[in-house]
Amino acid sequence: MKFRQRLVLILWLAVLAGCAILIATYTHVRTDMSGFLPEASTPQQKFLVSQLREGAASRLILIGLENAPAAELAGLSKSLADRLRHSDRFWYIANGTQQWTMGEQSLLMRNRYLLSPSVDKNHFTAPALRVALAESLHRLASPLGAVEKHLLPADPTHELGRVLEQWESPEGPRLEHGAWFSPDTRRALLVAETRAPAFDLDNQQATIGEIRQAFGFVSSSSSARLVLSGPAVFAQASRDAISQDAWRLSLIGTVLVIVLVWSVYRSAWLVALSALPLVAGILVAVAVVSVSFQYIHGITLAFGMTLTGVAVDYPIHLFTHVRKSESAQAAIKRIWPTLRLAVATTVIGYFAMLFSDFPGLAQLGVFAVTGLITAAATTRWLLPLLMPRGASSPAIPSLSRKAIRWVNLPYRWRIGFLAGVAAAAVFLLIKPTPLWQDDIAALSPVPEHSKRLDRELRAQLGAPDVREMLVMRADTPQQVLELCEQMTPALENLVQQAALKGFDPPCRYQPSARIQQARQAALPESAVLRSNLRQALADFPFRSGLFSPFLRDVEASKTQPLTELKDLQGTALGMRVNNLLFPYEQKWAGVILLRGVKDGVALRKLAADMGTDAVFALDMKTESEQMVKAYRDQALAIWGFGILVVGLVLLAGVRSISTLLRVVTPVAASVAAVCALLLVLGQPLSLFHLVALLLVVGIGLDYGLFFNSTFAHAEEQRRTVLSLLMCSGTTVIVFGVLALSRVPVLSAIGITVGLGSAFCLILAAAFRVKQQV
Amino acid sequence: MPHAPSSRFLPWFVWRAWCLLLVSLALAAAPLQAAPDTTDTTEWDFSRLMLGFSQAGSARARFTERKHMQILKEPLITSGLLEFHAPDRLEKRVLKPYEELYLVTNDTLVIEQPAKGSTRRFVLQRYPVMWAFVEGLRGTLAGNAETLRRFYAIKLQGSREHWRLDLDPLDDAMREIITSIRIEGAEARIGTIEILEKNGDRSVMAITPESP
C-alpha cells in the first residue's frame, strides 16, 4: 500500500472514530413529534404542539386489568391503586374507589357560599328560604337525607350539595365491587396521571415500569393480566416495537443479503466490505446532523437510514465490475463516471430539503446528503484499497450471461408494461379513495391492535379523546376565569340548541374573584337574614334556634378571604382545575373542553364574537391534520423542485434528451405504479410512503443510468446488468422482509421500497437503449 | 385536559344514608316472605327463625315510618308500600305525604321522585359498607345465618309468638351511624323495625302485611 493510500485509510478511520465518539458523547435523540413537526405558525398550532408535548391528556395512562373474575379484579384494582398512590410519580390514580376526602369536604363546605352558583340577591329572601326548608324536610324524611342532618343546621339551603353537583361528571364507568369496570365487567379500569410530561420518554418509561412492577406485586397469585394504553405507553411500545422489528427483520434481511452476495462474489471479505460504505455514511450523517442541529430526531434517524440505504448498491457495482485480470482501482475508475452521476443526481434531489424551514425535513436532507456522499467517497477511494488484487468472483461471467437474458424479457414485453403503467396512471387520476393520509395518528408507528385497545379503554372509561375545545389566554388566571365566565351563558345556549352536548369550563370549579365578590355582596346582612329566616320558619317543625350555625356562617362568608387556585393545590379538586387552567408561555391559558360538538361553525363564531384573539376554538384533530398536510405540501414542493434540478443535472450528464427520457420515465412510471398498488391495497399515502418513494426515485435513477450508460464491450454490459440485478435483489430482500413487520411505518416503507425497486428494475430494463455491443 | 372521568365524587354522607335506607328496605322485606308453617314442636331458636325467612317469595306490606329526630319538634311520618320479589328486588314506595320510590335490583339503587320528575340511579358497590350490608341481608333472606353473623352481633329474645331480634353492627363505619337494629315480630312475621342511631335519633317502622 502506498503512503498516500495508507494516509487515506488512516484519515478515514480517524473520521469514523471521531464520529463514533461524537455520537456516543454528544448526540441527543429526540422522539416527540413536536421536534419533527414544523414550527407552529398559528396560535392554534402552538397550543396544539404544547398540549401534545406536556398537556394533561398526554400524561394519562389508561390501565385495564382482565382475565380474572370481577371480584378478584376489583380487589386487584384497589391494591394496585393503593400502591401507586404512594408513589411520587403520579398526580393521581382514579379507579372509582376514592370519594372526596374529609379535607376536600371541609374546604368546599367552608367556601360554599362563594362557590355555589345559586347564591344571588334572591337566594335568602323569606319565600326562597321557605322553599329551601321544605326541601330540607323532605330530604330528612327520605333515607337518603337522614344522615345529612348533621349538616342541616349550618346549611339549610343545601349549598354544599349544589357545589358538589358542579364537580360531578354526568357519565362515568360502570362500578362493580366498588371499582371501575368495562360495561361487560370483564376488565377493571384505572386512570393514572403521571407527573412526567409526555415528551420525557425515559421518565415515562420508568413510570410505566413502576405500574408493571406494582401489578406484578399485587397479582402474584392471580391469573389477571395488565393492559396499558395512553400516549406514553404508545411512545414506549413503538420504540420497543420498532427496535425489536427493525433488529429482527434487519437481521433476517442481512443474512439473506449475505447469502446472495456471497453466492455471487464467493468471498467473505467482500461481503464484509459491502457494508462499509453504508455504515460509514450513517455514522458521519448522524454526527453531522447532531452537530448542526444540537439534536437528531428519531424519525430523522429512521428515515435517514432508509434513504441512505441506496448506498448498499455502490459496492455491488464495484464488485461486479472487477475483472479477474485487473485491480479494483481500474474497475472503480471505469464505473465512476456513471456512479458519480447517479450519486450526484440523488444527492442534489435530497439537497433541496436543506432549505426547508421544517426542522424534520432539513435534518433529513442533511442526513441523506452527507450519508450518500460519505458512502460514495468510501466506495470510490477506500474500498479499492481494501480489495485484494484479482478479487473477482469466478461465478460472475456465467451469471452475467444469464442476467442479460433475464433483462431482455421485460424489453420484449415492454408494450404490456406500458399498458400496465398507463392503467396505474389512469387509476391514480380517477381513484375513488383519497390519496393522502393526514391523520396524525397514522404517522404514529403504533400497531393497529394497540390503537384498538386505546379506543376501547377510552370508550369504557367514558373519556373520549379530547378533540374540541375553546382556548383562552390572558395575563393572569383571574382574567382567564373572567373570559370563561363571559362565555359560559353563550355555551349554555348552544347546549340548549343542541349544537353541543356539554362543556367543562374551569370557571365552574374556580369562579373568578369578581364572581365570588358579587356572591359575597349578595349575602344578606345578619339582621335581615335573621328576620327572613324567622318568617320562613313559621309552621315548620324545626327546633327553635337550630339554624344559628347558618346565620353565623353566612355572616362569616361575607368577609372571608376568596378561594384561590392555591387553596385547591394537592387535592383532587386542584387536579381538575390544573388540567383546565395552567401557565402557558409566561401567561395563563384556560381550556373549555367540549363534548359532542355538532355545530363547529357556531363555536368558532362564539369564539370570534369575543372580539379578541385571546380566545379561539381548537379542533385538535383537524389542526394536527393541517400541520401534517402543510408538512407534506412543503415536502412535495421541495422534492418537486429537487426533481427538476435532478432532471437538469441528468441532462447535463447524459447530454441526450432521449437517454434522459429512458432514465426518467421508468422511475416516474414505477412511482405511479407503486402509488396505485398501495391505494388498491387500501393504504392511503403518508409521509412514510413519501420518504420511501424518494428512496425509490434515487434507486430508480441509478438503474436507469447504469442500464443506459455506454458500454465499451459486451462483457461490460453483461456485468452492469448483473450488478443491477444484484442491487435490486438486495433491495427487494431487505425491504421485502421489512414489509412483513407488524409496525405500520416499517411495513409501509418495506412495501413501497420493495415494490418500487422491483418495478424500477423491470421498467428500466424494458425502456433501456438496446445496445448491440 | 381531560381529567379522569369521575362520578366518584359523591358526598361521603350519602353512603351513610344508603346504609340506613338499605337497612329499612332489606329488613322490611323480611316479613314479606311467605313463611313455612313450622308446625313441628322442636324448640324455637334463631335457626328456626332464619328457616322461616329463607323461603323466598313475592309479597307486599303497608308501612308507616316515624322518624324521631332531635332537630325536629315532632316526628316525621311517612307511609306507603313495601314489596319484595325474589330473589333480589326490593321496593319501598312512599305514598304519603308525597310520592317517592326506592328500588333495589341486584346492584343498583334507583330513586324516583315523580314531583321533581327525577330518576337517579346509583351503583351499590361503590359503598363497601352498604354493599357488605346488602349482601349480608340477602344471605339472610336466602336462609344463610352465617352471612348475617359476619356483619352483626345477634341477640334473639322472647318467644315464637313474640320475639325480638337485636342486630348490632360489627363494622366500624356502620357503627358510626347505627347503634342497633331492633326487629320485633311473631312467628315468621315482622311487626316493627326500629333503627337506633348513635346520636339518639331513631326511626320506627310499623309493618302490616297485605295479600299480594
CB contacts of A172 in chain B (<8 Å) are 5-8
pLDDT, tens digit, 9 for 90 and up, residues B148-167? 787 788 888 888 889 888 88
> Which pLDDT does position B13 carry in this prediction?
42
> Which pLDDT does position A522 carry in this prediction?
94
**pLDDT of B137 strictly over 80:** no
> Which pLDDT does position A280 carry in this prediction?
95
Q: Which residue has the cell 436543506?
A: A354
**pLDDT of B14 strictly over 50:** no
- Flag whether residue B135 sits within 8 Å of chain A, measured between CB atoms: no
> Which pLDDT does position A208 carry in this prediction?
93
- Flag whether residue A100 sits within 8 Å of chain B, measured between CB atoms: yes
Residues (pLDDT < 70) of chain A are 1, 31-40, 97-100, 143-147, 168-172, 439-445, 462-466, 570, 771-773
pLDDT, tens digit, 9 for 90 and up, residues B90-115? 788 999 888 999 887 777 778 888 88
End-to-end CA distance of chain A: 36
By Cβ distance, the residue of A57, A142, A160 closest to B2 is A57
Burial class (CB within 10 angstroms; exposed 0-12, middle 13-18, buried 19+) of A39: exposed
> Which pLDDT does position B15 carry in this prediction?
44
pLDDT, tens digit, 9 for 90 and up, residues B57-75? 566 789 999 999 989 999 9
> Which pLDDT does position A284 carry in this prediction?
95
- Flag whether residue A4 sits within 8 Å of chain B, measured between CB atoms: no
> Which pLDDT does position A147 carry in this prediction?
59
> Which pLDDT does position A408 carry in this prediction?
84
Q: What is the mean pLDDT of residues B42-46?
A: 68
| CA B62 to centroid of chain Cα atoms | 14
More confident residue, A430 or B136: A430
B residues 56-75 closer than 8 Å to A (CB):
67, 69-74
CB contacts of A468 in chain B (<8 Å) are none
pLDDT, tens digit, 9 for 90 and up, residues B167-182? 888 877 678 777 888 8
Q: Which residue has the cell 387520476?
A: A429
pLDDT, tens digit, 9 for 90 and up, residues B3-13? 333 333 333 44
> Which pLDDT does position B138 carry in this prediction?
58
Whose CA is closest to A574, among A502, A503, A482, A510?
A510
**pLDDT of B198 strictly over 60:** yes
Question: 3-state SS of chain A: helix, strand, coil percent to 5?
Answer: 70, 10, 25
Q: Structure pTM?
A: 0.70
> Which pLDDT does position A444 carry in this prediction?
65
Quick check: bond before B97 cis, omega within 30? Answer: yes
Burial class (CB within 10 angstroms; exposed 0-12, middle 13-18, buried 19+) of A613: exposed
Chain A interface test: which of B6, B96, B174 (most A C-beta within 10 Å)? B6
Alpha helices in B126-201 (DSSP H): 128-141, 145-151, 172-175
Q: How far apart are CA A445 and CA A246, in angstroms?
A: 12
Q: How far apart are CA A308 and CA A375, in angstroms?
A: 8
Sign of CA dihedral A338, A343, A346, A348: negative
> Which pLDDT does position B55 carry in this prediction?
64
Measured CA to CA in angstroms, residue A385 lies from A15, A312, A318, A332 at distances of: 17, 18, 12, 11
